[in-house]
Amino acid sequence: MSQHELTVTVNGVCRRARVAARLTLVDFLRDELHLTGTHVGCEHGVCGACSVLLDGRPVRSCLLFAVQAEGAAIVTIEGLSPDPEGLGILQDSFWETHAQQCGYCTPGMLIAAHALLQRNADPSEAEIRDAISGNLCRCTGYQQIVEAVALAARRLRGVNVTEADEHGG
């Protein structure tokens, strides 16, 4: 099996490795770099659980070979946290609105939502639903995820609210 030199930046850190041509990007991230926050679901591009940012755009890492990411900047779910122990505003908003149950879809949802908020600071509900429409969740019914993204958008715009504030609780 042919091997290739690979150089990528992952969560701001330059990584060099020698990888098999057929190694998928998600297997590289999970098995070689031990970044297991990126989940593997369907393994054929349907569920979105394996989403990562590749040069700022969400991609399905099960559909890419690691060698296709040569020279790219990758951000995984671990890279969205301000530090290993802390939650970012988007993650905290998911926690506050109970936007995860089993949590299997959550890393991919967060990646999709982060990408949306990077390009649109004030998304409508329809825009939020469209942004996460490629990510499947079998637990939540999506409503709390939509609420979480809207809450995070408001917080990131400097409107420091909680769900309780909004509902008079």
Tokens encoding 55: 């040069």
Is 12:100 a contact under the CB 8 Å cutoff? no
Task: State the nearest-atom distance from the C-beta of 7 to ligand FES, in Å.
Answer: 23
Task: Show the tokens assigned to 159.
Answer: 């409107």
Count CB-CB contacts under 10 A for residue 98. Answer: 13
> Counting contacts by CB under 6 A, is residue 46 touching ligand FES?
yes
Distance CA 93, CA 155 (A): 9
The answer to whether residue 102 forms part of the interface with ligand FES (CB under 6 A) is: yes
**Residue 53 binds ligand FES (CB under 6 A):** no
Other beta carbons less than 10 A from residue 139's beta carbon: 14
Cβ-based neighbour number of residue 17 at 10 Å: 15
Least gap, CB of 85 to ligand FES (angstroms): 22
Among 19, 50, 67, 128, binds ligand FES (CB under 6 A): 50
Q: Which of 11, 38, 97, 100 binds ligand FES (CB under 6 A)?
A: 100
Q: With CB under 6 A as the contact rule, which of the stretches 5-13, 30-38, 75-83, 133-141 interacts with ligand FES?
A: 133-141
> Rounded to an integer, what distance in angstroms lies between the CA atom of residue 145 and that of residue 137?
10
Is 60 one of the binding residues for ligand FES (CB under 6 A)?
Answer: yes
Tokens matching residue 139 = 């637990």
Q: Is 72 in the site for ligand FES (CB under 6 A)?
A: no
Among 103, 130, 143, 165, binds ligand FES (CB under 6 A): 103
User: Residues interacting with ligand FES, by CB under 6 A?
Assistant: 40-43, 45-50, 60, 62, 100-105, 137-140
